[in-house]
Structure 1
Amino acid sequence: MRVLKLSFLASLLLIFMVQCGNPPKKKQKNTVKEVVNQDSIKAKKRADSIALVEKEKDTFELNEENAIKFFFDYAKDLKQDKVRLTTTKGSFTVQLYDNVPYHKANFIYLTHKKYFDSTQFHRVVPNFIIQGGNSDDMRTAKKRGKIGRYLLPPDTRKGHKHHRGTISMPSSERDNPHKLASPFEFFIVTTNPGSYHLDGDYTPFGRVIEGMDVVDKINQTPIDTGEWPKKNIYILKAEVLD
């Protein structure tokens, strides 16, 4: 009988130990796991929101309906007016005119977007101009596709002339009776004292203030019958100066 009592008490003690052992720890573990999961969900939502904003920025494209308003607004707070272009022939700096706002804003914007990096001076006419901003590389076409398809109106009545060292914008090769400017390209006059027959048809929007000897060096490079340099002349880097 004593043995049965002891056995019964041992059983009760074992049941009590089982009931009072692991469950609290298990419950605590679940609580921690739940908090971690909630934090992970919140973090993921924040990351998704940020990614969505960045995607919207990246997918913004300029077109002929929004370009003028965009550059009008962009020019309002634009304090910078100098851009340095580093080429395979050396570096030169241009200063952009404040009173040609759309063309100035466009050039600064494309520089910030790294568009000109790895493009070329694809046209050279001795003692006349060098023309840059294009390339036969697919990277250039892809950059243009991401930025958008648009033209800029001419702005030829601000008193600027095509003196030597003037940077100006060529007209688009599309059907273009109003000589709207091709925004991705530019040319620099090398004629001394200038090429004034261009006045009124093209928009001067700045001038070379440093490194004109580099511009002349590019203009003296050997070319083929299509006015394309026999050896590619790259714009390695374009940067806006403060």
Structure 2
Amino acid sequence: MKKFTTLFLLIVLYTFFQCKKEVVVKEKFINTDTIFTKKESQKKEIKQVQKRWDSLNKENVNNFFTAYGKQHLENKVIIKTKFGNIKIRLYDDVPIHRANFIFLTKIKYFNTTEIYRVAKNFVIQGGNSDETYTQNQRRLYGNYTLDPEFKKHRTHKYGALAATREWENNPYKKSNPFEFYIVHSRSGAHHLNNEHTVFGEVIAGFDTMDKISKVPVGRDEWPTEDIRMTIEIID
């Protein structure tokens, strides 16, 4: 009887420890699987953030366009209007402004904008409109500005492409990235040198500029009829 009792206790103890061991193994496996899945999820989230190419905001402008410019080397665009086309070459030695213009062209920002100012014998100005998409794009990136990139040899000659800017409360002469103008005066507009960044020039389509310069305008130099435009990258 005593032997039977001892044997019974040994069997009970063995069974108990085997069950406990099995529970521990199962719990360890379940926890490991859960942790692995969570890490994998975190990795996917990190990769998604890293793949975002349009993370531009007003705090990272220079870094964003420095990196963007190295990956997007295009420097020629065409402005299409109902009066004809204007071909532009962007300057490689004004890298932030060039990259910005290529970026906006690729996201089709300009395709809902218009030429909204025609100052005869002076400039033709565009890059804004009341379209919802236009305004949403400006808000999306925080209405950022660009640091000036003045170059002695990049002047306001006939056909120069330059960035607009605010004149009030802008001591560093930062550019508006969304709006631009083209000098239409044959003698240039050299009083604007070192006031606005020149970042490109017209290489074809001077006759189109002449046609645009003749449209009727109001006192504010706004064309009486909208001049819609699209901009595309060309080789």
Gapped regions of structure 2 (runs ≥ 5): 1-43
8 Å contact kept, 1:99–1:158:
no
- Please name the residue that 1:62 is paired with: 56
- Please name the residue that 2:87 is paired with: 93
- What CA distance in whole angstroms lies between the structure 1 residues aligned with 2:234 and 2:134? 23
8 Å contact kept, 2:79–2:85:
yes
- What CA distance in whole angstroms lies between the structure 2 residues aligned with 1:173 and 1:138? 26
8 Å contact kept, 1:103–1:152:
yes
- Give the drift of 1:61: 4.4
TM-aligned CA distance change 1:91 to 1:141, over 3 Å: same
- Give the drift of 1:186: 0.3
Query: Is residue 71 of structure 1 aligned with residue 81 of structure 2?
Result: no
Say what the alpha-carbon RMSD is for the aligned residues: 2.4
* Larger of the two Rg values belongs to structure: 1
- Give the drift of 1:110: 0.3
TM-aligned CA distance change 1:173 to 1:135, over 3 Å: farther
Query: Is residue 205 of structure 1 aligned with residue 199 of structure 2?
Result: yes
- Please name the residue that 1:39 is paired with: none
Q: What amino acid does structure 2 have at the position aligned with 1:240?
A: I
- Please name the residue that 2:210 is paired with: 216
- Give the drift of 1:158: 4.4
- What CA distance in whole angstroms lies between the structure 1 residues aligned with 2:168 and 2:231? 27
Residue deviations 1:29-65 (CA, integer Å, cap 9, x gap): xxxxxxxxxxxxxxxxxxxx79x949x738x442221
Gapped regions of structure 1 (runs ≥ 5): 1-48
- Give the drift of 1:159: 1.6
Residue deviations 1:97-135 (CA, integer Å, cap 9, x gap): 110000000000100010000200111100000110001
- Give the drift of 1:148: 3.5
Following TM superposition, the consecutive aligned residue runs of length 4 or more in structure 1 with deviations greater than 3 angstroms are none
How does 1:42-191 map onto structure 2 within 5 Å? 53=48, 57=52, 60-172=54-166, 175-191=169-185
How does 1:23-42 map onto structure 2 within 5 Å? none
TM-aligned CA distance change 1:180 to 1:75, over 3 Å: same
Q: What amino acid does structure 2 have at the position aligned with 1:113?
A: I
8 Å contact kept, 2:58–2:141:
no
- Give the drift of 1:217: 1.3
- What CA distance in whole angstroms lies between the structure 2 residues aligned with 1:169 and 1:218? 19
- What CA distance in whole angstroms lies between the structure 2 residues aligned with 1:205 and 1:162? 10
- What CA distance in whole angstroms lies between the structure 2 residues aligned with 1:192 and 1:211? 14
The percent identity for this pair of structures is 41
- Give the drift of 1:164: 0.5
TM-aligned CA distance change 1:62 to 1:175, over 3 Å: farther
TM-aligned CA distance change 1:142 to 1:173, over 3 Å: farther
Aligned residues: 193
Query: Normalising by structure 1, what TM-score?
Result: 0.73
- Please name the residue that 2:186 is paired with: 192
- What CA distance in whole angstroms lies between the structure 2 residues aligned with 1:168 and 1:207? 8
Q: What amino acid does structure 2 have at the position aligned with 1:205?
A: F
8 Å contact kept, 1:61–1:146:
no
